[in-house]
Amino acid sequence: MKIAPSILSADFGNLAEDVKAVCDAGADLIHVDVMDGHFVPNMTMGPMIVKAVAKAATKPLDIHFMVEDIPFFIDLYKDLKPEFISFHIEEEKHINRVIQKIRNEGIRPAVVLNPATPVSLLEYIVADVDMVLLMSVNPGFGGQKFIPSVLDKTKELRELAEKKNPSLLIEIDGGVNDKNAPLLKEAGADILVAGSYVFGSDDYSKVINSLRV
């Protein structure tokens, strides 16, 4: 299991130090939540802040866009060369085109599903992406309660991936902790995002290891 701490719950007054600390504590990826105040009712980091995060990080970035006008945001962040860019399919009419745009930049494309968005919508997308991110909270804020229906959804996605894209990575984001991590692993998850659970602790290494089930 790979662990991607979400810096949404980091100390923004000491962001570089927090990013360095979770990298040193064993994070596999740094999850960066970009919100525009339109797709979700919250705003987070522009490209200048994420550039500072990229400079401090010794692990690759995993950028999660919760934005409208996704192609515009890809152009703003592409030069930071993240490992992944993920975008919400609820927002995009031209999903295949946007996946190709991300891949053409040498970045691994991923799509995101809100808790109520069905896996069936991925039938003609899943073979074209490297990862699918399943939201286990409603996007917009850290520190929310895990929505357990994502467990069945993860199993359903793993079955679809076995048929159409066996190397697909499944990432789960929202309310992840040491209680649900084993259930998510059993359901077929590969990467767990955790924000408040990691940054709410004073021992990053211990909490990251507690998720590595």
Ligand X SMILES: O=C(CO)[C@H](O)[C@H](O)COP(=O)(O)O
Instruction: Tell whether residue 115 is a contact of ligand X (CB under 6 A).
Output: no
Token pair 């697909």 is found at: 168
Q: Does 143 help bind ligand X (rule: CB under 6 A)? A: yes
Q: Is 130 in the site for Co ion (CB under 5 A)?
A: no
Does 171 bind Co ion (CB under 5 A)? Our answer is no
| Cα four-point dihedral sign 119, 123, 128, 130 | positive
Give the residue, chosen from 5, 10, 25, 64, that forms a contact with Co ion under the rule CB under 5 A.
64
Check if the beta carbon of residue 157 is closer than 8 Å to that of residue 136. no
How many whole angstroms separate alpha carbon 84 and alpha carbon 191? 12
- Is 169 a binding residue for ligand X by CB under 6 A? The answer is no
Q: By C-beta, is 116 or 159 nearer to Co ion?
A: 116
The C-alpha torsion from 63 through 25 and 185 to 179, rounded to 10°, is: -110
**Residues known to be catalytic:** 33, 173
d(CA 156, CA 147): 16
Q: Which is nearer to ligand X, 175 or 188 (CB)?
A: 175
The SS3 of residue 87 is strand
Rg (CA), the chain: 16
Determine the Cα–Cα distance for residues 62 and 54; give it in Å rounded to an integer. 10
Amino acid at 202: D
Member of 44, 180, 196, 210 binding ligand X (CB under 6 A): 196
The verdict on whether residue 188 carries a ligand-binding annotation is: no
Shortest Å, Cβ 64 to ligand X: 5
How many residues bind ligand X, per CB under 6 A?
23
Region from 44-52, 70-78, 133-141, 178-186 binding ligand X, contact rule CB under 6 A: 133-141
What is the contact surface with Co ion in residues (CB under 5 A)?
33, 64, 173
Which residues are at the interface with ligand X (CB under 6 A)?
6, 8-9, 31, 33, 64, 66, 137, 139-144, 173-176, 193-197
